[in-house]
Structure 1
Amino acid sequence: MNIIIRLREKYAALLRDKQIPLMQSRIRILTFGLILMIALLSIIILKSMIRGDYKTSARLLISVSAMCCGLYLMFEKNNWKLAGHLFLLSLCSVIWTNIAMYTFGINLVSLQITLIIISASFYILGKNWGIVYSFASVIPIILHLLLTSGQNGKMTVTPLQLNNSSFMLALIVNFGILITMHYEFFKSFFKSNSKERELNTQLQSALKEAQEATKLRADFLSSMSHELRTPLHAVIGLINILSVENPRKDQEENLAVLRFSAENLLALISDTLDFSKMNEDQITLNKSSFNLSMLLQNILASFRPKAEQKKIDIQLNIDFENAPLHIMGDQTRLAQILNNLISNALKFTDNGGQVEILVATKNQTAKHILLHFAIKDTGIGIPKNKQEIIFEPFLQANNNITKRYGGTGLGLAIVKRLIGLHLSKLILESEEHVGSVFSFEIKYEIAVPVVPLETEQPVTGTISTISNLNILIAEDNIINIMLLKKILDQWNCNYSLSKDGKEALDMVKTGGFDVVLMDIHMPIMDGFEASRHIRELPDVNMSKIKIIALTASSDVDIQQSFSYTYLDDYLTKPFSSQLLKEKLEGVVQQLSGK
């Protein structure tokens, strides 16, 4: 009794180890097959010994012993595969000895055992061993039929066999084994399908949760971007205003530190938001005409003060400097790529080093131009084994670099993806303690330069300078209002204030304004809705008023909004006063050309 209980515990433990339904079915098929066949053969052995048929008893005893070894290996050694081989070899030996030792050669029981071998070998051991054991059981039968002329072409059950209890018992047990094997196998198949369906349901649920989490993260980052950019706009704006109010030498140094810290913080916010948008495939390239020569000169000028501070020789070498190159593409994203690469080059190049910006024409046709960009530096370089990981987000070559130079490790990851959007690839060549070269190629459509048309002399009373503009400020943030007032007061501009979108709409209806500086996030009525209502005004002079959005939202969020079409232009906070001046001067030019 204790042995049976112990075997049941071993069997249960064996099934627990195999969590996959198919594996559990294999164990069950093998266990039932071994136990039923041992019991069947043991009964036949006893009957054979009573009849004095010691030859049958001896050969079946060998098979029973092998099967008992199989049970031992499965329960005690957890080696069910070897137990399967012993089970199948024992059954094969029964067929082989039947053919070799008895005149009847093949009967119905032999065919049953053949079917058991074929089914069990595939179910228990898989297709390769299934083929081996199938051939091992079938080929001897086919050869025997060919050599004996197929027993006159008939397979019969004789009256003697029907009256033989051992034959009938074997017939019944074999059918039982066949039924059990197929039942177990298809039960496992059904369980696997059920489990697969359950996993698919769980996967769909997890995917939906992940999508919702991604959306929440994107919304959170957009909201945080807006909330962080708003105070930064005030900080950077006031720094710029203080810088032009003749500060003392010590105040200039303090303002420089403040500007550096604020701009670094802004860069970190922008990189984090850009990377999030790229992960969600929300960034697309905008196509517009721009002067590449001027863009490169402006980028060089923006980095020259930092280079001079570190005594780094920074140079720009282009092969089209004699003729300005106008191309169609995304100026903002190209500038972002170059700014990141040049900033890295300056950051990782020690005092007295050199940084070179190279732009060369690789191929040109009447309509297109292929440009090769390269940023070279004589900086610290990157070890060969670290040149792959630096393009992964949040990773730098080592922790010491992070501690010494700072940064999030997002810059190069963003650059790589932006270049990928241009259907190009970022290539790195670097040697430690010698320097690095980051290069890429972009194909652009050549644009026709816009030549300003000569216009007649403006009629008396037209607007000639931004000081003649009537500006409406739609802003609810007190700090931003104060900053805008200080900026506009520098240029002697005329302006009025509105604290929300609805008030701005009502003031536009008076017809006394030329341009609206519209904040987007405002109470009662936001900037987008106010802009839509303005465009729907019946008076054309009012509905066509210039609207420039001043927003702490990102470029991507603005451009993806359907209401973007209601705006004439926009500036993302924090923006420089010079950039706002350029936008207002553009309005002046448009109004003076009426």
Structure 2
Amino acid sequence: MPMNIITRYKDKYTSLLKETQIPLMQSRIKILAFGLILLSSLTFIILLNSLVNPHMTIVIRLLVLLLTMAFALYLLLEKAKWQLSGHIFLLSLCTFIWTNLIFYTSGINLVTIQLSLIIISSSFYILGKNWGILYSLANVVPIVIHLLNSRLQNGQVTITQFQISNLSFLLALIVNFGILIIMHYEFFKSFYHSHYKERELNAQLQTALKEAQEATRLRSDFLSSMSHELRTPLHAVIGMINVLSIENPRKDQEENLAILRFSAENLLALINDTLDFSKMNAEKVLLNTADFNISTLLQNIHASFKSKAEQKGLDFRLKTDFESNPLYVNGDQNRLTQILNNLVSNAVKFTDNGGRVELSVTTTAQIGQQVVLLFAVKDSGIGIPKNKQEIIFEPFLQANNNITKRYGGTGLGLAIVKRLINLHESELKLVSEENIGSVFSFEISYTLAKPELPEEKIPVVSIPVQEISNLNILIAEDNIINIMLLKKILDQWDCNYSLSKNGQEALDMVKTGTFDVVLMDIHMPVMDGFEASRHIRELPDANISKIKIIALTASSDVDIQESFNFTYLDDYLLKPFSPLLLKEKLEAVVVQLSGN
């Protein structure tokens, strides 16, 4: 029967330790259990020894101590209340010391000091610093008071010949030392294990962090690669639409081309949004500040959406408090345009026939050269339910699936807008009511810029096509479809051009010195466009090394500008591009060559 009880409590003790995986907590339970078992056993042995020559005070004190220890052990093993058990354990020891000080003139002996050290150490180790301080004071203060009252016990900590020859005293001395050693051993063992686990977890965290960073890099590289791969055929589609559009198509063909253009531009917008979002996640998007006319920017946005709004029967208005005085500021006009385009596009998309959309900009503060502008896009559209107003800012999420089916979209627009506004150290706010409408607003602080001085109107003289045709152009491109498209575009202007299928061929052909400009694709076999451009710039002949290089690339704007090799380029065009934009670039080359 006793063996069954011991086995039962042993199992409960093991189970109690398994409930916590924290080494320090396990150590606290072990210290308490060992302390209770050893002191209970010691008290029991001393009590039996005291019954030989019984002294009532000693027997009662030992019996109370033993019962208290047994109750604390019961709470620990049976009820798993280790903290309460710890308090009872410490209070019982404190009481034993207090009564020792009361009943005996020289109440401080070596065993008393040992018990005092056990109380101080175990109170900190088992219950923590706050209880440790409390129990330490409750134990030390009475001892100090006793020493002062007894005149420091005449400078003696008593240990008599009788005590030395007394088996109980010697047993208490040995057991107390053992308890002190076990407490410190268990505590510092747990400290070592905690430190080891901390180092192990830190190592795992570092590994996980590296894996996450690598996964982020791979995802970014994948999206950049996919962007290039998607833009390349899309460039051919939009390019051919542009070519066909200027070849006097029939009315029915114009309608077909309009449908193709709409679909291609939607696909391009999707690719751009996905890539933008990827770059923002990788924190590669920075604000590029420059002076610009915000009044003109707002008017252009209003003009670009007015036609679409009218087609839906919407009243689209622009309101500012600086209509009479154009406002010039220093900031990133491209990112502001992207923010407002997304918000206005959503407002027009989600507002049904007969509704109203308003873009308003008001000055909320001006201190010195700093001006704070409040931008608001208000619509009378479908609105957003209260319980969905948080998730719409999360990527790839919309208020519900019906919105996706009815209006389309990927759910990236608002996520991009929110992050772009955060880049401006501001916050996107939303006030919306279902079936009533929505208001998206944000503030941006700008530095005022000097207004552009009105220049004398000089007639714009377009460079004749025949002057562009005088350029000797080298096309460095490996994609056969892109080559065909470029040939069709350049043939319209009767340009002289030659072809090279990789960067190495382009470099070899440039060395002849017969070309004025290189239309350089970036991603090519053998030698890419960046490397070919670098080698061209390093050619010893200054006239050849300064040849104009215009990169034609399906990479993102951010990827191009982040590259160190960007410095080897004179200009670049992102595929798909408009033939008119290419013409402007070539006209700029003509102007520069004529200036030289």
What's the TM-score once normalised by structure 1's chain length? 0.91
Note the 1:366-405 alignment, pairs <5 A: 371-405=373-407
Kept after mapping to 1: 8 A contact 2:119/2:136: yes
Provide the C-alpha distance between the structure 1 equivalents of 2:25 and 2:53, rounded to a whole number of angstroms.
42
Provide the C-alpha distance between the structure 2 equivalents of 1:195 and 1:476, rounded to a whole number of angstroms.
56
**Paired residue type of 1:533:** H
CA drift of 1:519 comes to 0.7
In terms of mean alpha carbon deviation, does 21-30 or 196-205 score higher? 196-205
Match of 1:56 among 58, 69, 83: 58
Post-superposition CA distance 1:393-420 (Å, at most 9, x none) = 3333344333332322221222222233
**Paired residue type of 1:258:** L
Corresponding position of 1:332 = 334
CA drift of 1:22 comes to 0.7
CA drift of 1:116 comes to 1.0
**Residue 66 to residue 428, structure 1, CA distance change in 2 (3 Å):** same
Kept after mapping to 2: 8 A contact 1:463/1:469: no
Note the 1:26-425 alignment, pairs <5 A: 26-290=28-292, 292-318=294-320, 328-359=330-361, 371-425=373-427
Provide the C-alpha distance between the structure 2 equivalents of 1:366 and 1:467, rounded to a whole number of angstroms.
52
Post-superposition CA distance 1:31-60 (Å, at most 9, x none) = 110111011001111111121234322321
In terms of mean alpha carbon deviation, does 334-343 or 559-568 score higher? 334-343
CA drift of 1:344 comes to 1.4
Provide the C-alpha distance between the structure 1 equivalents of 2:120 and 2:176, rounded to a whole number of angstroms.
13
**Residue 488 to residue 400, structure 1, CA distance change in 2 (3 Å):** same
Provide the C-alpha distance between the structure 2 equivalents of 1:362 and 1:68, rounded to a whole number of angstroms.
74
CA drift of 1:442 comes to 4.0
Kept after mapping to 2: 8 A contact 1:46/1:57: no
Provide the C-alpha distance between the structure 2 equivalents of 1:4 and 1:67, rounded to a whole number of angstroms.
17
Corresponding position of 2:444 = 441
Match of 2:499 among 486, 489, 497: 497
CA drift of 1:18 comes to 1.9
Post-superposition CA distance 1:445-486 (Å, at most 9, x none) = 52564888999xx9xx99874344332221111111122222
**Residue 220 to residue 447, structure 1, CA distance change in 2 (3 Å):** farther
In terms of mean alpha carbon deviation, does 561-570 or 539-548 score higher? 539-548
Provide the C-alpha distance between the structure 2 equivalents of 1:115 and 1:493, rounded to a whole number of angstroms.
98
In terms of mean alpha carbon deviation, does 366-375 or 515-524 score higher? 366-375
Provide the C-alpha distance between the structure 2 equivalents of 1:576 and 1:354, rounded to a whole number of angstroms.
33
Match of 1:519 among 486, 506, 521: 521
Give the 3-state SS of the residue equivalent to 2:48 in structure 1: helix
CA drift of 1:493 comes to 3.1
In terms of mean alpha carbon deviation, does 120-129 or 288-297 score higher? 288-297
Match of 2:19 among 17, 20, 30: 17
**Paired residue type of 1:446:** A
Post-superposition CA distance 1:294-315 (Å, at most 9, x none) = 5444434433443233222333
Provide the C-alpha distance between the structure 1 equivalents of 2:200 and 2:283, rounded to a whole number of angstroms.
30
In terms of mean alpha carbon deviation, does 52-61 or 334-343 score higher? 52-61
1:540 aligns with 2:579: no
**Residue 420 to residue 235, structure 1, CA distance change in 2 (3 Å):** same
Provide the C-alpha distance between the structure 1 equivalents of 2:429 and 2:296, rounded to a whole number of angstroms.
25
Provide the C-alpha distance between the structure 2 equivalents of 1:365 and 1:590, rounded to a whole number of angstroms.
43
CA drift of 1:561 comes to 0.5
Give the 3-state SS of the residue equivalent to 1:413 in structure 2: helix
CA drift of 1:91 comes to 1.4
CA drift of 1:365 comes to 9.0
CA drift of 1:347 comes to 1.5
**Residue 592 to residue 29, structure 1, CA distance change in 2 (3 Å):** same
**Residue 509 to residue 578, structure 1, CA distance change in 2 (3 Å):** same
Provide the C-alpha distance between the structure 2 equivalents of 1:238 and 1:77, rounded to a whole number of angstroms.
82
Kept after mapping to 1: 8 A contact 2:328/2:448: no
CA drift of 1:13 comes to 1.9
In terms of mean alpha carbon deviation, does 502-511 or 240-249 score higher? 240-249
Kept after mapping to 2: 8 A contact 1:370/1:443: yes
Provide the C-alpha distance between the structure 2 equivalents of 1:507 and 1:327, rounded to a whole number of angstroms.
46
Match of 2:9 among 7, 31, 34: 7
**Residue 435 to residue 287, structure 1, CA distance change in 2 (3 Å):** same
Provide the C-alpha distance between the structure 2 equivalents of 1:288 and 1:538, rounded to a whole number of angstroms.
36
Kept after mapping to 2: 8 A contact 1:328/1:446: yes
**Residue 529 to residue 189, structure 1, CA distance change in 2 (3 Å):** same
CA drift of 1:181 comes to 0.8
Gaps of 5+ in 1: none
**Residue 364 to residue 210, structure 1, CA distance change in 2 (3 Å):** same
Gaps of 5+ in 2: none
Give the 3-state SS of the residue equivalent to 1:495 in structure 2: strand
Provide the C-alpha distance between the structure 1 equivalents of 2:367 and 2:125, rounded to a whole number of angstroms.
67
CA drift of 1:103 comes to 4.5
In terms of mean alpha carbon deviation, does 200-209 or 389-398 score higher? 389-398
Give the 3-state SS of the residue equivalent to 1:50 in structure 2: coil
In terms of mean alpha carbon deviation, does 1-10 or 160-169 score higher? 1-10
Give the percent of matched residue pairs that are identical in Structure 1 and Structure 2: 70
Provide the C-alpha distance between the structure 1 equivalents of 2:297 and 2:28, rounded to a whole number of angstroms.
71
Provide the C-alpha distance between the structure 2 equivalents of 1:70 and 1:521, rounded to a whole number of angstroms.
77
Provide the C-alpha distance between the structure 2 equivalents of 1:585 and 1:317, rounded to a whole number of angstroms.
38
CA drift of 1:157 comes to 0.9
Corresponding position of 2:481 = 479
Kept after mapping to 2: 8 A contact 1:328/1:447: no
Provide the C-alpha distance between the structure 2 equivalents of 1:438 and 1:451, rounded to a whole number of angstroms.
35
How many pairs are equivalent? 591
CA drift of 1:177 comes to 0.8
What's the TM-score once normalised by structure 2's chain length? 0.90
**Residue 374 to residue 522, structure 1, CA distance change in 2 (3 Å):** same
Give the 3-state SS of the residue equivalent to 1:549 in structure 2: strand
Provide the C-alpha distance between the structure 1 equivalents of 2:125 and 2:25, rounded to a whole number of angstroms.
10
Provide the C-alpha distance between the structure 2 equivalents of 1:105 and 1:368, rounded to a whole number of angstroms.
79
Post-superposition CA distance 1:537-591 (Å, at most 9, x none) = 3333332222211101001100001110111111111222232233223333333
Give the 3-state SS of the residue equivalent to 2:432 in structure 1: strand
**Residue 295 to residue 99, structure 1, CA distance change in 2 (3 Å):** closer
**CA root-mean-square deviation:** 3.0
In terms of mean alpha carbon deviation, does 238-247 or 493-502 score higher? 238-247
Note the 1:559-574 alignment, pairs <5 A: 559-574=561-576
